[in-house]
Amino acid sequence: MHSLRILVLAVVLTAPLAAAQSRPVTAPSDVRPGSITSEDVPYPYPSTYFPLTVYGQDVRMAFMDVPAAGTPNGHTIVLFHGNNFAGFYFGSLIDALRKEGFRVVAPDQIGYGRSSKPIIPYNFNDMARNTRVILQSLKIERVMVVGHSMGGMLATRFATQYPGMVERVVLYNPIGLVDQRFTRPAGSVDEAYAQTLGSTYQTVKAALMRYVAHNESAWTPEFEKYARIRYAWTLGAEWPRLAMVQSLVGQVIYQDPVVGDWTHVKAPTLVFGGAEDVLPGSAALFQERMAVAAKTIPNGRLHLIPGLGHVPHLESPDKTYPPLLAFLKEGL
């Protein structure tokens, strides 16, 4: 009965999205081929590049290092981006943190944004290690970490790999709330690549529309901007490389689950975000699993915002930032 209730809720909640996707969507004619390393994508603050060697390949990892506005409070926030984004969508969040005196470091993980796009076996351990190397180069010894979407999974892994560095953790609308390895078989990278390679404006927009499935009118020009960025990548000559990288990274969520890490997170943790997130299948299932995460993490607490979906800071900064900032400022 419980499973049936979740299934019914999923159908009801996703019906508006399905209706929206059934309507014709015309690709914008003014989008030009985009760089897969996002040099042509506006970022809120300048990027710095750090050289790394990963799996024998020389690469560079981009990051923003933004000082506090006004008097520094002596603490640094690390922002971990989601799978469909990079540091470029964190502008208003960085501004809100800076105003409270925080220094903010926002890396583009290898394979994302302005960082290199090598063909490697991606995993959260490497992402955490690469981030730590950058922090060490900046002589930053302690951080608070905020991870959105897939970045929430990475924030969990970073907190368990380097507990001595982490003061506070925010799991912000994380994905990977359920370990799927024992309920469905692993997908094929080659099949994922073929599907990704065939991406169109319609499929790109449909993927992002899942974030506002609870409220179609929440699709703002800000969301549309990111759909155009992702569509522009598909038009460039280097798209096949990025399509393969995206296919490889897509396997990480399945192959490298972090639900088993939850009991090992030592820092105070806020399990946080929009309550209407339907990415796990339904908002009801999302809320249920977020509550489990908050209960499982030894020093965890739950705060869900009614009426908001997967990317609350793009929907309603005014509702999103006060509880987030209040939790982070408790650690000052």
Angle between helices 150-161 and 124-137 (to 10 degrees): 70
Q: What is the pLDDT of residues 11-23, one digit of tens each?
A: 333 444 444 444 5
pTM of the model: 0.92
Class of 30-329 per CATH?
alpha beta
Quote the distance between the C-alpha of residue 24 and its chain's center: 28
Q: What is the pLDDT of residues 267-326, one digit of tens each?
A: 999 999 999 999 999 999 999 999 999 999 999 999 999 999 999 999 999 999 999 999
Closest CA to 211 of 2, 14, 1: 14
The pLDDT of residue 12: 37
Give the residues of the chain that fall short of pLDDT 50: 1-22
The pLDDT of residue 21: 44
The pLDDT of residue 25: 78
